[in-house]
Amino acid sequence: MKLQGKIVLITGASSGIGEATALAFASEGARLLLAARRASKLAQVASRALELGAEAVHTVDLDVRSRHAVQNAIDELPAEWSEIDILVNNAGLSRGLDKLYMGKIEDWEEMIDTNVKGLLYVSRAVVPGMVVRGRGHVVNLGSTAGELPYPGGAVYCASKAAVRALNDGLRQDLLGTPVRVTSIDPGTVETDFSLVRFRGDAGRAARVYQGFTPLTSEDVADAIVWAATRPAHVNIARIVLTPLDQANALLIHPESQAGMK
């Protein structure tokens, strides 16, 4: 499938995997609808996307945790941006590595509100239009953490297990329509993920990626674009990708490390 002129909505598009995905779709000539909370960083991504060949870019200052903000953002899109072809539910984060029984409830709420409820809010606002128009593709960012929890990451892992279940459930609910549903489940990706998890502790974040070569945001973006460009009758249900040195969310060679993407 060609992506020239297709409208692609990407949440969490201001950095990391979201930014790389925006630039990858830009190189294919797509029209980019970029959403994130950090408007200044989003503007920088938009500018770069236009340089790389995006047909057009429209940005939305959006916090996916607010269902009213999400619905209003979709309802108020200019007419020329309203027929979304591809939705990339990328917005997500982790907070802390506390043992479950010592966890901070506000951290739990932030992860669940963003990773699970945010995905639901955006999907609920966008997918009905895809069904009516008879075309569309939903790409959800999961994680190997959704398959196997690791110490200190129970709530984050549970949120990604929920993404896996929601992805598969949505695909079942859309059976008989032309709308495709895909989960992209990466292992460790070197982004600001750990910096966010550890609330700006750069030293602790850097140690997560020491001793092996992690995935890059571009690796994940490449998988997303590949899934989106398969023939219309082909649905890629799930892609699991890890660094060569990673077996699962718990095991990394030469050392086993917890706290993975």
* CA distances (Å), origin 58, targets 10, 50, 215: 11, 11, 28
Joined together, the tokens standing for residue 103 give 């966890």
Write out the catalytic residue numbers.
156
Q: What's the rounded Cα separation, in Å, for the pair 36 and 12? A: 5
Per DSSP (E only), the strands in the chain are: 7-11, 31-36, 56-61, 86-89, 136-141, 179-186, 238-241
SS3 7: strand
DSSP β-ladder status, 136-141 and 31-36: unpaired
What's the CA gap between 116 and 111, in Å, rounded? 8
